[in-house]
Amino acid sequence: MKAKFIKFIKENNLFEKSDKILVAISGGADSVVLADLLFENGFDFGLAHCNFKLRGDESDKDEIFCNDLAKKYNTKIFTTSFQTAEFAAQNKQSIELAARNLRYKWFEKIKTENNYKYIATAHHLNDNIETFFLKIIAGTGIRGFAGIKMKNKNIVRPLLFAKKSEIENYCSENKIDFRTDNSNFDNKYTRNKLRINILPLFLEINPNFENAFAKNFEIISDIQKIYNKSVKKYYKKCVEIEGKYTKINIKKLQNSKTPKAYLYEFIRKFGYNYSDVSDIFNSLNNQSGKIFYSKNFSLLKDRDYIFIKENEQSKNVFIEILYFKNSNNLKGFNFEIIENPETNILPENNKTAFFDAEKIEFPIIIRNTVNGDFFYPLGMKNKKNLSDFFTDLKLNIFEKQDSLVMESNEKIFWIVDKRIDDRFKITQKTNRILKITHL
């Protein structure tokens, strides 16, 4: 077991002998064996134990056991407790998800504050097999087939090579004490149903089932690398970031051999599941303007692009500027007065505009557009409705919603980032220029 442990760490580049490791310790056989293997092989490690207050005195006895374990290994231990059931109810999460979120957030805090390089968890091969089947039941893509990652940023899992039976044998051979969590035998949990009732049937059919699955994980992991390379290639072809928008070129997406799969990979990070992707994909050849919502994002199918943006708490903008001296970052804008300009000044880009300062009165209002808004576009003598102006620019719904105007004395003088009003332009008679830059 010790030799296989070291070989697994080296072959998969999990960590170095010089790295400080923080071990997530529950007191169960898996995490105790992980700590013992690190100790026996001379690694620098500390322990981190969470008391989830879910099993009464048993939870408290687990904490005492882990403190004694730290003394045995002459290492630091960090402990904390959570009112997990209350947290789960308040956040409408399952107990399992609540416990996971609480512990990983705390582990990261302890790691950072105490200069540990990695957090090590004691997931083993049987955990990986159970997770595989749980994801199959819930519905998964290729990432679910690949199982638990050996290394995910600063989280490492050095026991993923080991079968549960090997861990139990190690405890027996080395006379290692550990705590038993009786909830692991409660059939009300789906994972336990798999472990107790279903997976033993696979072992009955094929006694080499666990080893066969370990080989499958290796194969799937290699396939996933090829898949990820292809996704990355098409992401560069199809996706661009423009300000607050993520844009997906529909034509380029549809020209790929597996557009639906690529679309899923492009947007899953925004909270869209495969069912959402099917609806979005089916809308691509339909009329523009349909919006799809996830928890934190909105996705718009426009003419040639899919637009994605983060949901904002409020779309209502109304800012009143009563006065200013030359100001940097006033409500997201820079204002500058230029006295006695000698030459005509041209804007550097759409985010900068110049106006005849004498024609602008306070207060200056910055607001969203509303129905009926109009202005006199630069170079035109007739007024134009903003709705028509936006149509000429071929703005999508998101861009219309996000557009701001500046007005003075109830007259719009700038469609921010787009066009100034002809009535406020600089002329040869201009003595003072107001320069406004949208940051």
Does one domain contain both 292 and 334? no
Pair 106, 175: CB distance under 8 Å = no
Does one domain contain both 294 and 322? no
Q: Write down which residue in 266, 289, 310 finishes a domain.
A: 310
Instruction: Give the count of beta carbons closer than 10 Å to the beta carbon of residue 410.
Output: 7
How high is the pLDDT of residue 181? 86
How high is the pLDDT of residue 320? 93
Does one domain contain both 7 and 106? yes
Using CA atoms, how far apart are residues 49 and 77, in angstroms rounded to an integer? 7
Using CA atoms, how far apart are residues 378 and 421, in angstroms rounded to an integer? 5
Does one domain contain both 36 and 123? yes
**Terminal Cα distance for the chain, rounded:** 60
Residue with tokens 């904002």: 312
Q: For residue 282, what are the β-bridge partners?
A: none
- When pLDDT is averaged across residues 63-76 and rounded to a whole number, the result is 97
Instruction: Give the count of beta carbons closer than 10 Å to the beta carbon of residue 223.
Output: 13
Q: Is the pLDDT of residue 293 over 70?
A: yes
Does one domain contain both 145 and 260? no
How high is the pLDDT of residue 313? 66
Does one domain contain both 322 and 301? no
How high is the pLDDT of residue 287? 87
The string of pLDDT tens digits covering residues 177-229 is 999 988 888 888 889 999 999 999 999 999 999 999 999 999 998 999 999 99
Is there a domain that residue 217 lies in? no
Does one domain contain both 305 and 375? no
Does one domain contain both 117 and 156? yes
Residue with tokens 């083993």: 124
Is there a domain that residue 221 lies in? no
How high is the pLDDT of residue 89? 93
Is there a domain that residue 357 lies in? yes
Q: Write down which residue in 276, 310, 344 finishes a domain.
A: 310
How high is the pLDDT of residue 324? 79
Please choose, from the candidates 225, 311, 308, 226, the residue with its C-alpha nearest in 3D space to the C-alpha of residue 267. Answer: 308
Does one domain contain both 303 and 337? no
Q: Is the pLDDT of residue 344 over 90?
A: no
Q: Is the pLDDT of residue 140 over 80?
A: no
Owning domain of residue 287: 226-310
The string of pLDDT tens digits covering residues 77-122 is 999 999 999 999 999 898 889 999 999 999 999 999 999 999 999 9
- When pLDDT is averaged across residues 69-84 and rounded to a whole number, the result is 96
Return the structure tokens found at 13. 């580049």
Please state, rounded to an integer, the average pLDDT across all residues of the chain.
Answer: 93
The model's confidence at residue 346, banded by pLDDT at 50, 70 and 90, is: confident
How high is the pLDDT of residue 347? 77
The string of pLDDT tens digits covering residues 361-389 is 999 999 999 999 999 999 999 999 999 99
What CATH number should be reported for the domain holding residue 389? 3.50.40.10
Does one domain contain both 113 and 160? yes
- When pLDDT is averaged across residues 311-332 and rounded to a whole number, the result is 82
Using CA atoms, how far apart are residues 48 and 310, in angstroms rounded to an integer? 36
Return the structure tokens found at 71. 């003394």
Pair 318, 369: CB distance under 8 Å = no
In terms of C-beta distances under 8 Å and separation of at least 24 residues, what long-range contacts does 256-261 make, across chains too? Answer: none
What CATH number should be reported for the domain holding residue 306? 3.30.465.60
Q: Write down which residue in 149, 171, 205 finishes a domain.
A: 205
Is there a domain that residue 214 lies in? no
How high is the pLDDT of residue 235? 97
- When pLDDT is averaged across residues 331-349 and rounded to a whole number, the result is 82
Using CA atoms, how far apart are residues 351 and 44, in angstroms rounded to an integer? 54
Is there a domain that residue 219 lies in? no
What CATH number should be reported for the domain holding residue 177? 3.40.50.620
Does one domain contain both 305 and 323? no
Using CA atoms, how far apart are residues 16 and 288, in angstroms rounded to an integer? 54
Into how many domains does the chain fold?
Answer: 3
DSSP H or E stretch at residue 413: strand 411-415
The string of pLDDT tens digits covering residues 145-174 is 888 999 999 999 999 999 999 999 999 999
Does one domain contain both 163 and 240? no
Is there a domain that residue 351 lies in? yes
The model's confidence at residue 327, banded by pLDDT at 50, 70 and 90, is: confident
Does 363 sit behind a cis peptide bond, omega within 30 degrees of 0 on the bond before it?
A: yes
Using CA atoms, how far apart are residues 410 and 23, in angstroms rounded to an integer? 64
Is there a domain that residue 301 lies in? yes
Is there a domain that residue 216 lies in? no
